[in-house]
Amino acid sequence: MSRGVPRAARVVALAFLSGACGGTIRELPDGAGVADGGLETGDAAPRGDAAGDADAATLAACGTPERVRICGGACPSLGKDACKGVGCQPLLDRVSNAPTGVGICVPDLPIPLEQCGRCPDGDVCANISGEGTVCVPEQLCQRLTKLGVANGCRYADFSPYDGQPLAIARGADCPSKACGPACGACRGVLDRCTGRSARHGYGTCVASWEWLPCNPSQPLPRACAADNYSCLAWAPPAPNDTASLAYGFCDSRACGTGDARLVCAAQ
């Protein structure tokens, strides 16, 4: 028996837990349920309130409101069946690229993945094996920080992520041409506000309708130079941390007219 809980209510609850954990639920003859992937959610054995609370805490620590799952380390492992055929992709240190000990279920992220450098306002970045440094929901890096692996994350301006929430500038603190919650939206319909971090409560507007990657420390791509564009990239946060230069983008603005945090190379 299941202590008087109606079977329909149990099925609904088990289906919810199955979706949160990426597994499937089988309703057993005695009313118990087992979620593929190792999380038991039925009455197969008395567990007590403490065990149930521990499971709930694990689910809260290892996923985000956007349903992006963290796997490995202190979180449940996710195989290829649970993670849509690719399994758990390792999260790497943002500077050394060494494995952090946990991974991310990449198919849970918005597709197609966007490279860090021009993330939508509100996103931060994570260094994921095989994908590079990509835009992710801030809640994901908040969870990773609580798990002790904030070293795999950056803010959208490539500054090191340390768990501090994204700042919001006061109106008087908004530089010219800045954008963000207190600074206003970008004027161009297809422009995107990017670059807000814990230390800078404002972003800068970049074109979201074209993506011409470049590196300001290297010759400009032919397609970029043909339009007399400049190459913009977020300034490296430290001498030994120059990853941001590989995520530059061509832009129609002239050097010296954009956000002071951007480095620029002209044709």
Q: pLDDT tens across 192-246, in order?
A: 899 999 999 999 988 776 667 889 888 878 778 767 788 889 999 999 999 999 9
Residues 180 and 261 in one domain: yes
Range of the domain at 30: 7-61
User: Which residues have CB under 8 Å from 214's CB, separation 6+?
Assistant: 220, 221, 224, 231, 233, 248, 249, 250, 265
Tokens of residue 258, six digits: 């954009």
Residues 193 and 255 in one domain: yes
Residues 121 and 86 in one domain: yes
In a domain, 188, yes or no: yes
pLDDT of residue 267: 64
* Lowest-pLDDT range of 3-12, 78-87, 112-121: 3-12
How confident is residue 120, by pLDDT bands cut at 50, 70 and 90? very high
In a domain, 159, yes or no: no
Judge whether residue 148 has pLDDT over 50: yes
Residues 150 and 193 in one domain: no
Single-letter amino acid code for the residue at 109:
L
Residues 141 and 121 in one domain: yes
pLDDT of residue 46: 41
Average pLDDT over residues 43-63: 58
In a domain, 36, yes or no: yes
Residues 124 and 149 in one domain: yes
Residues 142 and 100 in one domain: yes
pLDDT of residue 250: 85
In a domain, 95, yes or no: yes
Catalogue the long-range contacts made by 81-87 (C-beta closer than 8 Å, 24 or more residues apart). Answer: 81/36, 82/21, 82/22, 82/23, 82/36, 82/37, 83/22, 83/107, 83/108
Of 18, 42, 61, the residue that ends a domain is 61
Residues 216 and 148 in one domain: no
pLDDT of residue 49: 59
Put simply, whether the predicted model's pTM sits higher than 0.95 gets the answer no
Residues 77 and 138 in one domain: yes
How many domains, in total, are found in the chain?
3
Most confident of 44-58, 184-198, 249-263: 184-198
Judge whether residue 87 has pLDDT over 50: yes
Residues 208 and 225 in one domain: yes
Judge whether residue 23 has pLDDT over 60: no
Of 154, 183, 205, the residue that ends a domain is 154
pLDDT of residue 249: 86
Average pLDDT over residues 123-152: 95
In 3D, which of 39, 38, 140 has the Cα closest to residue 91?
Answer: 140
Residues 113 and 197 in one domain: no
Residues 80 and 135 in one domain: yes
